[in-house]
Amino acid sequence: MEKQHIYITRKIPNELLQPYQEQFHFSMWEKESEPVPREVLLEKVEHVAGILCLLTDQIDEEVFNKAKHLQLVANMAVGYDNIDVEAAKARQVVVTNTPDVLTETTADLTFALLMATARRIVEANEFIKKDEWKDWSPFLLAGSDIHHQTIGIVGMGRIGEAVARRAKGFGMNILYYNRSRKMEAEQELDATYVSFEKLLTEADFVVCLTPLTSDTHQIFNKQAFEKMKQSAIFINASRGMTMDEQALYEALKAGEIKAAGLDVFATEPIRASHPLLELDNVVCLPHIGSASVATRENMIKLCLENLSSYFKGHGAKTPVE
């Protein structure tokens, strides 16, 4: 069988590629911490049959027009809003993602972000580092309880359900809003399906885990934040464009909501001058939801398994719809 050419848009460990060396010719961008420049990407994909890319790589009409021999794009993420799926379909290019392998890890991070924001963990750490801890007082860095509070999960997919399981362990009341009801999740987790508006008005913690679509683009806007409790905490571990960052900033600044924990932003990476970083009641992370060593390796392995299975004639393992 003729070896297919695969381009990888970021440096990954050679030991992960080794099992596939007899099947593929690999080339890759040799920097781990810098994205491949657009002009390099367009040049490198011209003769490849497959691309293994990251969510930061825009695989759009221009790329597909250059990649005349392209058959499969393996995206190292669950979400695939960085890929023009319609353009791929028009050219019969298969697009795959990495579901399941990152579910529990991302849920861990989401709940850790919720806890850190609620209990002001980062702020407390900085308090000591700045040598400001001079005494103890009854309300020193007092935060919000998590146990037995109401969590509202927007987007009850695999990760949403995993976060709900963690919330159940804290005795939380679980509300969720999703494009369709999840009866099994309701029975297993004692979760209650509600409208988006009811979730906003009743939840103590509003957690965004929805995919980015035309329907969810800036679903968290000025009106949404106005509906939340003044004591509510907003957590976003999905995609940055699901929220209006300016509206969030204004809601936090005005005290319309209590705090926010964010792992995602509209434009990434953000700089230290980003307005949200001015606020003490915001915890910001650099999009590390799935960032454990084991999970990131499993994501890469699934991308490679998709490529291998497809080119062996067995079909991709996890094609997107």
Structural element, H or E, at residue 237: none
Q: How far apart are the C-alpha atoms of 247 and 198, rounded to whole Å?
A: 20
Q: Distance between CA atoms of 227 and 217, rounded to whole angstroms?
A: 18
Identified catalytic residue from 61, 188, 268, 278: 268
CB atoms < 10 A from the CB of 25, how many? 13
Burial 100-137 (b: 16+ CB within 10 A, else e): ebbbbbbbbbbbbbbbbbbbbbbbeeeeeeeeeeeeee
Euclidean distance between CA atoms 157 and 308, whole angstroms: 27
Please identify which of the residues 10, 120, 239, 296 carries the catalytic annotation. Answer: 239
Element (H, E) at 171: none
Q: DSSP secondary structure string, 103-140?
A: HHHHHHHHHHHHHHHHTTHHHHHHHHHTT------TTT
239 is catalytic: yes
212 DSSP assignment: P
| Active-site hit among 161, 287, 296, 305 | 287
Active site residue 268: yes
> Quick check: is 274 catalytic?
no
User: What's the distance, Cα to Cα, between the start and end of the chain in Å?
Assistant: 29
Distance CA 66, CA 64 (A): 5
Which strands make up the sheet holding 150-154, listed edge to edge? Answer: 192-193, 173-177, 150-154, 205-208, 233-236, 259-262, 282-284
Distances in Å between the alpha carbon of 288 and those of 43, 56, 218, 263, 301? 29, 13, 21, 7, 18
User: And the tokens for 253?
Assistant: 């600044």
Residues recognised as catalytic: 239, 268, 287
